Structure 1
Amino acid sequence: MKNSILNIGKVLNKEELLNIKGSAVTGSFLESRCYAEQSSCLAALSSVLGYGANPNDSRCVSCITESGESGFKVRVGSVL
Protein backbone atom coordinates (compact mmCIF):
# COMPACT_ATOMS: atom_id res chain seq x y z
CA MET A 1 0.00 0.00 0.00
CA LYS A 2 2.84 2.40 0.82
CA ASN A 3 4.18 2.12 -2.74
CA SER A 4 0.76 2.88 -4.23
CA ILE A 5 0.39 5.95 -2.00
CA LEU A 6 3.88 7.17 -2.90
CA ASN A 7 3.01 7.04 -6.60
CA ILE A 8 0.13 9.51 -6.22
CA GLY A 9 0.65 13.12 -7.25
CA LYS A 10 3.47 15.27 -8.59
CA VAL A 11 6.80 15.80 -6.88
CA LEU A 12 7.18 19.49 -6.05
CA ASN A 13 10.47 21.37 -6.01
CA LYS A 14 11.53 23.49 -3.02
CA GLU A 15 10.09 26.71 -4.45
CA GLU A 16 6.73 25.04 -5.16
CA LEU A 17 6.63 23.59 -1.65
CA LEU A 18 7.20 27.02 -0.12
CA ASN A 19 4.43 28.51 -2.27
CA ILE A 20 1.68 25.99 -1.43
CA LYS A 21 -1.44 28.08 -0.93
CA GLY A 22 -2.49 27.89 2.68
CA SER A 23 0.70 26.35 4.01
CA ALA A 24 1.92 27.43 7.41
CA VAL A 25 4.78 26.77 9.77
CA THR A 26 3.47 25.89 13.23
CA GLY A 27 6.10 25.15 15.83
CA SER A 28 8.52 22.79 14.13
CA PHE A 29 5.97 21.57 11.56
CA LEU A 30 5.08 22.72 8.07
CA GLU A 31 1.38 22.19 7.38
CA SER A 32 -0.67 22.33 4.20
CA ARG A 33 -4.15 23.72 3.88
CA CYS A 34 -7.02 21.46 4.96
CA TYR A 35 -8.22 19.25 2.11
CA ALA A 36 -11.80 17.92 2.06
CA GLU A 37 -10.67 14.66 0.43
CA GLN A 38 -8.08 12.32 1.93
CA SER A 39 -6.81 11.51 -1.58
CA SER A 40 -5.75 15.17 -2.01
CA CYS A 41 -3.84 15.01 1.26
CA LEU A 42 -2.13 11.78 0.20
CA ALA A 43 -1.11 13.36 -3.13
CA ALA A 44 0.41 16.35 -1.31
CA LEU A 45 2.11 13.99 1.16
CA SER A 46 3.58 12.03 -1.74
CA SER A 47 5.03 15.25 -3.12
CA VAL A 48 6.76 16.25 0.08
CA LEU A 49 8.09 12.72 0.61
CA GLY A 50 9.47 12.79 -2.94
CA TYR A 51 11.26 16.03 -2.10
CA GLY A 52 12.95 14.45 0.90
CA ALA A 53 10.65 14.89 3.86
CA ASN A 54 11.25 12.37 6.61
CA PRO A 55 8.47 9.73 6.27
CA ASN A 56 8.60 9.12 10.03
CA ASP A 57 7.74 12.79 10.73
CA SER A 58 5.29 13.40 7.87
CA ARG A 59 1.65 12.34 7.69
CA CYS A 60 -1.92 13.35 6.90
CA VAL A 61 -3.73 14.51 10.04
CA SER A 62 -7.31 15.52 10.77
CA CYS A 63 -8.39 19.14 10.42
CA ILE A 64 -11.48 21.27 9.83
CA THR A 65 -11.98 22.80 6.37
CA GLU A 66 -12.96 26.43 5.81
CA SER A 67 -16.56 25.25 5.37
CA GLY A 68 -16.48 23.55 8.79
CA GLU A 69 -16.30 19.97 7.48
CA SER A 70 -13.82 17.32 8.61
CA GLY A 71 -10.78 17.10 6.39
CA PHE A 72 -7.08 16.21 6.15
CA LYS A 73 -3.88 18.25 6.03
CA VAL A 74 -0.26 17.30 5.50
CA ARG A 75 2.02 17.80 8.49
CA VAL A 76 5.76 17.68 7.74
CA GLY A 77 8.15 17.50 10.67
CA SER A 78 11.57 17.47 9.06
CA VAL A 79 13.43 17.09 5.77
CA LEU A 80 16.18 14.48 5.46
Structure 2
Amino acid sequence: MLRHEFQPGRLVAGFFLTLTGVVYAGDAGGLWETPWFAVIPLTSAGLCLAALAGSAAHGLRRQRGDHRELPGRDDKHVRG
Protein backbone atom coordinates (compact mmCIF):
# COMPACT_ATOMS: atom_id res chain seq x y z
CA MET A 1 0.00 0.00 0.00
CA LEU A 2 1.36 3.40 -0.94
CA ARG A 3 1.90 5.94 1.80
CA HIS A 4 -0.05 9.16 1.71
CA GLU A 5 -0.05 12.32 3.75
CA PHE A 6 -2.42 12.63 6.69
CA GLN A 7 -5.38 14.87 5.95
CA PRO A 8 -7.27 15.61 9.17
CA GLY A 9 -9.95 17.66 7.42
CA ARG A 10 -11.14 14.63 5.50
CA LEU A 11 -11.11 12.56 8.68
CA VAL A 12 -13.30 15.08 10.53
CA ALA A 13 -15.70 15.47 7.60
CA GLY A 14 -16.01 11.71 7.25
CA PHE A 15 -16.67 11.30 10.97
CA PHE A 16 -19.48 13.85 11.01
CA LEU A 17 -21.10 12.54 7.83
CA THR A 18 -20.94 9.00 9.24
CA LEU A 19 -22.44 10.28 12.51
CA THR A 20 -25.28 11.85 10.52
CA GLY A 21 -25.90 8.52 8.80
CA VAL A 22 -25.93 6.68 12.14
CA VAL A 23 -28.42 9.16 13.58
CA TYR A 24 -30.79 8.65 10.66
CA ALA A 25 -30.27 4.88 10.67
CA GLY A 26 -31.24 4.81 14.34
CA ASP A 27 -34.35 6.79 13.51
CA ALA A 28 -35.22 4.48 10.62
CA GLY A 29 -34.69 1.44 12.85
CA GLY A 30 -37.04 2.85 15.47
CA LEU A 31 -34.42 3.20 18.19
CA TRP A 32 -35.09 6.93 18.66
CA GLU A 33 -36.86 9.91 17.08
CA THR A 34 -34.78 12.29 14.98
CA PRO A 35 -36.19 15.57 13.64
CA TRP A 36 -35.92 15.91 9.86
CA PHE A 37 -33.74 19.03 10.16
CA ALA A 38 -31.08 17.38 12.36
CA VAL A 39 -28.82 16.87 9.34
CA ILE A 40 -28.30 20.63 8.92
CA PRO A 41 -26.40 21.39 12.17
CA LEU A 42 -24.52 18.07 12.13
CA THR A 43 -23.32 18.50 8.56
CA SER A 44 -22.62 22.23 8.90
CA ALA A 45 -20.64 21.80 12.12
CA GLY A 46 -18.72 18.89 10.62
CA LEU A 47 -17.79 20.76 7.46
CA CYS A 48 -16.76 23.87 9.42
CA LEU A 49 -14.57 21.81 11.75
CA ALA A 50 -13.14 19.93 8.77
CA ALA A 51 -12.22 23.22 7.08
CA LEU A 52 -10.61 24.44 10.30
CA ALA A 53 -8.62 21.20 10.74
CA GLY A 54 -7.56 21.17 7.09
CA SER A 55 -6.45 24.79 7.21
CA ALA A 56 -4.50 24.24 10.41
CA ALA A 57 -2.79 21.15 8.99
CA HIS A 58 -1.93 22.98 5.78
CA GLY A 59 -0.52 25.91 7.74
CA LEU A 60 1.61 23.62 9.90
CA ARG A 61 2.84 21.67 6.89
CA ARG A 62 3.74 24.88 5.08
CA GLN A 63 5.42 26.39 8.14
CA ARG A 64 7.58 23.30 8.70
CA GLY A 65 8.40 23.00 5.02
CA ASP A 66 7.19 19.41 5.16
CA HIS A 67 7.06 18.56 1.47
CA ARG A 68 8.81 15.22 1.67
CA GLU A 69 8.76 12.95 -1.30
CA LEU A 70 6.70 9.88 -0.50
CA PRO A 71 7.58 6.55 -2.11
CA GLY A 72 5.55 5.89 -5.23
CA ARG A 73 4.32 9.46 -5.45
CA ASP A 74 4.27 10.92 -8.92
CA ASP A 75 4.01 14.73 -9.06
CA LYS A 76 2.22 14.59 -12.41
CA HIS A 77 -0.87 13.20 -10.66
CA VAL A 78 -0.84 15.49 -7.64
CA ARG A 79 -3.06 18.52 -7.79
CA GLY A 80 -1.72 21.57 -6.07
TM over 0.5: no
Using structure 1 for the length normalisation, give the TM-score: 0.29
Structure with greater Cα Rg: 2
The alignment's TM-score, normalised by the length of structure 2, stands at 0.29
Return the structure number with greater strand share.
Answer: 1
Richer in helix (by share): 2
